[in-house]
Structure 1
């Protein structure tokens, strides 16, 4: 979990200075973009186009090897036909630059990258048709399949055994349950953690391992209109939660987040699952664990958001995006029960 006062707070003047110093860019426009732990800016330059400047938080900036692997993964995915951003080298030819700046809490070091800008809107802003959900599931499986082929000298940093966002580390949430004191949701979260331990963890030896993107959510998938009056996926963003996990984790994460932006959340699972299995068919233990893994991701999102708001109250609106919608959905999914949820999700996959 990120510690307090690590999130960068660069102002527009400091951003302009960085762009000129590192990339010899004179921006025509700088616009702040939403982010969780880091700081992102849309940058338009009259001489060379559009970019995204990403400034990592001070805590994550200490792990240069991890950021190197994430940066390499974006390029590797793009080279293998996936719509991802790539990194623009600095004037000195580096993909990462560690910059020391004072953003109001003393001098700290921040890793800075300039990324290509991908066109499109987030998938949260368009109708989630069964066809688009199918393609989303397919893309979630494809990216993990691509990562299977990836080699890098520091790939082991993706083990991330204490990473709170890994769906292999759900029981780490117990340390943060105090943020739900007095909230009826706390009993649901405790029950989900219990079922994760008793129903999911015993089956993990039979899960197929992979490297997960780890954050296949409604704000990290871009779409554009296709030639069939629908939408196609045009971009995959934010590789910051990459970790060694399981294929089934990626699917559970995608289902959970798409549920938060669909008018009938339970109906998300079927087409997403079908798309995923068109690339990577699940085994019985993976299928049997999907319901509790989806619930587990809801719990991660809700608990971590509540905790993060105590650290960054000024960023509460963004931090609570999923939480506001998720509370009602997780309660509905919990009350619906495993058997009924699986009847809907697996109906067209048998």
Structure 2
């Protein structure tokens, strides 16, 4: 999860339930509960730094703290929940990926090594549930605000698509002894695993939305899966959404991308998946959602032009990501009924966009996306 914490940012801070981490299904006692003196002690002991300011950052299943140090510098101390902390190899690969992107010119966080030279430390603490172990990392603090708070100009959407493609191309060159952990065969947020939604579809019983979701699932099986062999494989960030991209004002009265957050959904997938995910989340923030696809696509293809099969499946894969997001948001309501009214109000826009995409149909949406992508390139 990002420094701000994906679930609380998506639901609590920004009033949306369009992205719900699979950790909503985890037990509450796995979340760490460190206090500020304990955080100060960790920073001093593990990194030999003197905290000048510590403040809590929102998070759902981890604990995040902003830390400014007397020696100069701003950081995010990230304390993973005890369940995710058991998978040290996965966190190690994710942390390495961030550093690898940074070394190759993209604005990702990097982890500060501990005094023993490691990028993370497994710390044992009793947070009120008995003694448990939590992985601790000190990450660089990236400047900027989330793209969700910025006007999505065509140019910024273009840069977002371009950055997503560059990111996946760089990740494809990454080597690490534990790369095998990214083969996440039953990962609920992977677009390769869309049919896993069938076990949650009952949460839509009695809702007309269920019929649309079932239709998308059917078309995914009949139209997308047979074309997998033509998709180009890569490593996906897997969650290039509007809360995981930071931006800053640029010199042309626009915005530039200043940070890429949250590598928790990294998985072995396909380039076209990253593009579909990026388009879907940018749509949720735009006043005219259908117009988003063109500039994002133009940016993506400036780095990595799509092949015929990828182009043919883009529309359905964007719909598929909406299905994952909306069904799992609804499922989270069954786990947290106390938030039901709030969650449902905040997901209305996502449902509206999903229906609009479906009702316009593949041919009309593709016409808008692909024609505007060409026009955007012609203007550049």
TM-score > 0.5 by shorter chain: yes
Q: Which residue of 1 aligns with 2:154?
A: 130
Q: Which residue of 1 aligns with 2:313?
A: 289
Q: Distance in 2 between matches of 1:165 and 1:287?
A: 21
Cα offset, 1:316, TM superposition: 8.1
Instruction: Please tell me whether the aligned partners of residues 36 and 318 of structure 1 are also in contact (alpha carbons under 8 angstroms).
Output: no
Cα offset, 1:74, TM superposition: 0.6
Instruction: Please tell me whether the aligned partners of residues 192 and 295 of structure 1 are also in contact (alpha carbons under 8 angstroms).
Output: yes
Q: Distance in 1 between matches of 2:218 and 2:286?
A: 28
* Equivalent residue in structure 2 for 1:277, among 287, 301, 312: 301
Q: Which residue of 1 aligns with 2:122?
A: 98
Instruction: Please tell me whether the aligned partners of residues 302 and 322 of structure 1 are also in contact (alpha carbons under 8 angstroms).
Output: no
Instruction: Please tell me whether the aligned partners of residues 221 and 233 of structure 1 are also in contact (alpha carbons under 8 angstroms).
Output: yes
The gaps in structure 2 that reach 5 residues or longer are 1-21, 375-380
Please state whether the residue corresponding to 1:279 is helix, strand or coil: coil
Instruction: Please tell me whether the aligned partners of residues 34 and 318 of structure 1 are also in contact (alpha carbons under 8 angstroms).
Output: no
Residue 224 (structure 1) aligned with residue 248 (structure 2): yes
Distance 1:4 1:281, change over 3 A: same
Q: Which residue of 2 aligns with 1:251?
A: 275
Instruction: Please tell me whether the aligned partners of residues 167 and 296 of structure 1 are also in contact (alpha carbons under 8 angstroms).
Output: yes
Correspondences of 1:118-267 after superposition (within 5 Å) = 118-267=142-291
Cα offset, 1:269, TM superposition: 0.2
Q: Distance in 2 between matches of 1:21 and 1:310?
A: 42
Runs of 4+ aligned residues of structure 1 deviating over 4 Å after TM superposition are 309-322
Q: Distance in 2 between matches of 1:167 and 1:72?
A: 23
Provide, for residues 198-237 of structure 1, a one-character-per-residue CA deviation record: whole Å limited to 9, x for no partner: 1111111100000001110111111111111111111111
Provide, for residues 50-97 of structure 1, a one-character-per-residue CA deviation record: whole Å limited to 9, x for no partner: 111112222221111111111111111111111111001122221111
Distance 1:148 1:207, change over 3 A: same
Please state whether the residue corresponding to 1:271 is helix, strand or coil: helix
Q: Distance in 1 between matches of 2:65 and 2:349?
A: 26
Cα offset, 1:315, TM superposition: 8.3
Correspondences of 1:33-112 after superposition (within 5 Å) = 33-112=57-136
CA RMSD, 1 decimal: 2.2
Distance 1:95 1:166, change over 3 A: same
TM-score normalised according to structure 2 size: 0.86
- Residue-pair matches, total: 350
The gaps in structure 1 that reach 5 residues or longer are none
Distance 1:20 1:314, change over 3 A: farther
Please state whether the residue corresponding to 1:88 is helix, strand or coil: coil
